[in-house]
Structure 1
């Protein structure tokens, strides 16, 4: 990518005594624009621009509130990775025997951060300053300085040794894509920072689950309660899109609907802020151009409030409104397992995923006590899990394709294989429906009266609330009969639908033997 140098660094003080005084002042080094340069990348084929680094408004706010442990929930492209990379580089250059580290989501991201932020800033120091700080060793992810034995490194883990300054970049994405790596960060990298060190974890949101989500909830609660923080507590930092001065367009070029104005008015009330017409125009244009049909992605990338960053959109979701009604009536609560048979409802997905709901019936009341899902496992794995639960099972309800024989499995159906793995158990097939929306409506109907355990079925609840339609850009609408399978909610939602379809057919779970003996034509659609 071509690079232009539109602005040079401000001149260093010419007086040697004054220069030494300035260099000893960390605030001057970061804020003056005299030492560090950054590269602002252009869009597409546009040239990148090299500028002196001066903290923007959000970065200045963060520096003023810096704590031992810091958790940043933010809108996109506010420059926090750049800021912290320079803070860490500066700390390593001017303090002896320090280890500074940045954890990125993968090797490619780590390489880019090191090359474009850390090494670029070092290589572009004023020559007379850079010569003071020669490197003893330098490679693609680390620089060790000869004058003071300090170093700065960018990698995917920082478990080994003490890390005096740690930055975890885009931790929400790490949690979503690499949960094992996220646990490694929490159990290995973060504990490597001493009490007098500094940790900065920053990210846009990636859905209401995972380590980052849990940490944000805890930190935000401390912030809301104005609780005194120990060095082990995280200080919560939130930076909304409307706080970025550059996020604005000419209001005369973008039509904004009354509904959209109502949204902005609500945010102004909640956040005690003002969102002017040009800001509103920018938000609406960005949402329409980049996130059409994906409202929750706009909230994640450009949140207006902390809660909104993790919010799941109800637009286009099959059961969002129904689940809201279930919550309002107290249907999502603690549902203890009773001394009754447990029925299971399955979906075995084409993408090697399997979801199972665990259900009990008490005097006509449907109670869901447990949920389990896994991917890329064979049937023996699920049988082992069922056996480990200690339940006395009633009936296992399988989807219609479980009776299809598969040549790759010794010409046996899923039902036959499960029967052989769990002899004596009762497996039945829930008949196929010809229209997906028929099953959706049946599920909505029966959701009105069921109870779901909020702990044992926590993941299943998220699957129901996240189950959504595909969005057609060409038609600019959601497609009723085409579920969006990209968020892995389909198996859990489809397994739950087996219960509603069985219930609709009168396959009452206490009398299932009646249906085993009846001809298939008596209860198939």
Structure 2
């Protein structure tokens, strides 16, 4: 009995130390699937020692921050009464996996005496509710209630793929955390757009300026791939000279040299990831976002747009008609830009994209916007393949659209690179509505050249991916902008490399 009492007193003494608890009470699975005791690695310990009330974490992949934060939250629930913790994953599958593999796994392997002291009275998919009034919930969004700790996993992916949900997180979930409680945002980079990028840049600038942070300021944490000692390769390989040159430049930037085993690991990772290597395994904060835009077609133009604040609040002007520019997919996405000419200024006020739907669906979308937002439509402009006849009906898609009350003009067929040059010429003079065009703007920024894995260079053709439809429809806009501006003149201004006259009949 005395030994049990002494053991209990000893545990109580040790358990008063949060860091000791984190490194001694919890079990996880490692990268090889083995069950091991959780102990903080270098990056996790640095975050634990230097966390702020608002934390934004830009990181290399697989440094274990989600695991650490979920163990941290589980511990907070067990040892602090009435502590509500929430984790937001970027999709439902990830939410289920994180709960099952991180929170639930660690809880199930706790010592029995601890589970008896603070047991889970509710244990269901996505939620643990404890007898002391604390809870840990994993989902894809939260609104309402209050949180002591909130964690957003892979927030950049949410901003990129689900901008509406990102806005809901910022306006809803973040507002459920008081200024004295804690938020963790962690992610790899995903392009130079969205809340994650903006928060990173703002907090990085404050960090470098040595500014004192308030409770509501985001503290910047950066964790490069070379913090992990596991990112090495002992097997002898030939490292390309361009990789050696990269490390020589990097050594000057970060003030340290890199081992041959680190260079080998990086070279092999680059073979697999290609141009994504810097995004997934950045060495510097700038590099994380640099690779996200390297190879993109409109990098310089968007830098100017942001610099001159041309991506901002742009209200619909009831006095001007709204032109729509389409890229129509059959078994693919359909993308629609909504633009107005206000005075001499092109204003892009809206963007819509969906997939797997017919023309009638998109006609309903336009009708709803007309009712809800007051749009008065002008020209509907679509691609040249509107003229292709469907085998099943014998009608063109243009004719099918007319049957629904949608009357399309058809953009001329031009080489893609000529259209890209037209976009480059148009972008500096355009205004974008920051909220309604967020998805389209993000895709325009990410539209890039295809990557040649074999030679480690960019190809001269665009990569066909999720950005293509937004980029293609905007290309039709750029090609025909002067024609729209002049009120359907017979001449379309094309890039200098492909000047030609377009007869009026081509538009009917």
Q: Do Structure 1 and Structure 2 share a fold, with TM-score over 0.5? A: yes
Query: What's the CA shift for 1:378?
Result: 1.5
Q: Which has the larger radius of gyration?
A: 1
Render the CA deviation track for 1:120-168: whole Å, top value 9, x for unaligned: 223323344444333333223333333x332323233343422212222
Partner of 2:149: 165
Partner of 2:173: 189
Mapping for residues 404-419 of structure 1, pairs under 5 Å? 404=388, 413-414=397-398, 417=401
Pick from 177, 200, 218: which aligns with 2:202? 218
Query: What's the CA shift for 1:496?
Result: 4.3
How far apart, in 2, do the equivalents of 1:511 and 1:105 lie?
45
Aligned length: 481
Pick from 28, 31, 39: which aligns with 1:38? 28
In the alignment, structure 1 segments of 5+ residues that lack a partner are: 1-11, 43-47
Pick from 473, 495, 498: which aligns with 2:473? 495
- Secondary structure in structure 1 of the residue aligned to 2:57: strand
Pick from 464, 475, 484: which aligns with 2:463? 484
In structure 2, relative to structure 1, the CA distance for the partners of 1:404 and 1:389 (3 Å cut) is farther
Q: Would the aligned equivalents of 2:71 and 2:102 in 1 still touch at CA under 8 Å?
A: yes
Partner of 2:446: 466
Partner of 2:358: none
- Secondary structure in structure 2 of the residue aligned to 1:486: coil
Moved more, 491-500 or 59-68: 491-500
Partner of 1:57: 42
TM-score normalized by the length of structure 2: 0.77
Pick from 334, 347, 351: which aligns with 1:353? 334
Mapping for residues 7-406 of structure 1, pairs under 5 Å? 15-31=7-23, 33=24, 35-42=25-32, 48-146=33-131, 148-250=132-234, 253-289=236-272, 291-292=273-274, 295=275, 297-312=276-291, 317=296, 319-320=297-298, 324=300, 334=310, 346-350=326-330, 351-356=332-337, 358=339, 368-370=346-348, 372-376=350-354, 378-379=362-363, 381-382=365-366, 398-404=382-388
- Secondary structure in structure 2 of the residue aligned to 1:205: coil
In structure 2, relative to structure 1, the CA distance for the partners of 1:486 and 1:499 (3 Å cut) is closer
- Secondary structure in structure 2 of the residue aligned to 1:72: strand
Pick from 441, 451, 456: which aligns with 2:428? 451
Query: What's the CA shift for 1:447?
Result: 4.0
Q: Would the aligned equivalents of 1:357 and 1:368 in 2 still touch at CA under 8 Å?
A: no
CA RMSD of aligned residues (A): 4.4
How far apart, in 2, do the equivalents of 1:244 and 1:413 lie?
55
Q: Would the aligned equivalents of 1:333 and 1:451 in 2 still touch at CA under 8 Å?
A: no
Query: What's the CA shift for 1:203?
Result: 1.6
Q: Would the aligned equivalents of 1:360 and 1:369 in 2 still touch at CA under 8 Å?
A: yes
How far apart, in 2, do the equivalents of 1:397 and 1:254 lie?
54
In the alignment, structure 2 segments of 5+ residues that lack a partner are: 355-360, 493-500
How far apart, in 1, do the equivalents of 2:397 and 2:487 lie?
25
